[in-house]
Amino acid sequence: MAANANTPILDAMLESLQQQHPEIFAGPCHQMFADRLMPGKCARAVAQAAQDCMQAVTPSEK
């Protein structure tokens, strides 16, 4: 796989996560993206942060 095979949207998401949730990259995802690996704890942390971000951007009507 190429050194940077990320799509623009993935690059934007990773940049946003690094800015908004640096604890993810210091914790469950520490050095995971260096080898393009994503074990379960990292995947769950990224998915939860993305879900939280989407809910903040598009809050549901109650």
Query: CA 28, CA 41: separation in Å to the nearest integer?
Result: 6
Query: Could you tell me the residue ranges of all domains in the chain?
Result: 21-56
What digits encode the pLDDT tens for the residues 14-58? 888 889 889 988 888 887 767 666 788 888 888 898 888 777 766
Work out the angle at residue 4's Cα, subtended by the Cα atoms of residues 13 and 29, and round it to the nearest 5 degrees. 50
Query: CA 24, CA 3: separation in Å to the nearest integer?
Result: 22
Helical segments of the chain, H only? 8-20, 22-26, 40-57
Q: Is the pTM of this model over 0.75?
A: no
